[in-house]
Amino acid sequence: MRSLPAMPKRALVGIDIGGTKTAVVVSLKAPTVLDRIEFPTKPANGPEPALRLIKGGIRDLLVRHRLKAAAIGVSCGGPLDHVKGIIQAPPNLSTWVDVPIKAILQNEFGVTCRVENDANAGAVAEHRFGAGQGCRNMVFLTMGTGLGAGIIADGRLYHGTNDFAGEIGHVRLTRTGPVGYHKAGSVEGWASGGGMPQIAQKAVSAALKRREPTLLASQFRQGRAITARDVAAAAKKGDAVASRILGITARRLGETLAILVDILNPEKIVIGGLAMRLGDTLLEPARQVMRREALPQSAAVCQVVAAALNERIGDVAALCVAMGF
């Protein structure tokens, strides 16, 4: 008798949507990624081109590996409605106004689609598979282009009354200062990859007026944006101006950590983005400020560490969303 063809295996599909790039991944068992596709999000073009690429990427990966989708998870910056699965014009995706991505993908592929804020998804990923394993109370900070928090309280993800828990980036640290989350002097303005270039512009301008040399001078004079990556590279080469910029970011991050420690009393704060790339160059000064500013009893029981999943965190976070919390 002729044997029947093997049934296709069922795979989790994860979609990590960022302001710069979008990744589509498939997995037979999280956190292992079987394969992935990545492409520029290009938010200036609106959501439609990226949505076409997302759907095409899912199809390509499923066909390539002879798989069938079991569930789809979407990780994306907020604000969003995670129950209805609607993306509501996040700062890094301002043209994505009320995009019903859950309905779009469920209708296209006929399986359950779940949608979650990227900070919340990152918190679950690090709690299940990364630096937060074994913790009952932890906070995850994205610290990428923006800065948001995902909160694990008593072992469960905390959403808040209407899904806006953890928007620490919107908190104002100073009356004036770099702009983040549409607010001058905010945590996101002072302590994120999007805020650091604003700090750098002022710092380099002041240095040049004092005739202080810096490796960042040529970019400034050419009118090119100074990125967080540029600052980090210059600091590693011993550039004093770049080191001061990192110091400012670290100090404001430390003040933010102290707020979180005093309010939430976590046993661990796990930080992605810049913290993964800069390590203790950023984190140790921030820890010192946290210990100085927070209640001693709470600070003493809180570890501050870089995310253990490293650059895989976006992929794993999206797979965790597909798995469900």
The string of pLDDT tens digits covering residues 181-204 is 889 999 999 999 999 999 999 999
Assign domain 131-308 to a CATH class: alpha beta
Q: Is the peptide bond before 79 cis (omega within 30 degrees of 0)?
A: yes
Cα 95 off chain centre by: 19
- Do domains 9-122+313-323 and 131-308 share one topology? The answer is yes
306: pLDDT confidence band, cut at 50, 70 and 90? very high
Type and span of the H or E element at 13: strand 9-17
Instruction: Give the ranges where 65-179 is alpha helix by DSSP (H).
Output: 101-109, 118-129
The class of domain 9-122+313-323 in CATH terms is: alpha beta
Strands 9-17 and 67-76: parallel
Query: What residue ranges do the domains of the chain occupy?
Result: 9-122+313-323, 131-308
Cα gap 180→256, rounded to integer Å: 14
Residue range 82-110, pLDDT digits in tens: 999 999 998 889 999 999 999 999 999 99
Whole-structure pTM value: 0.92
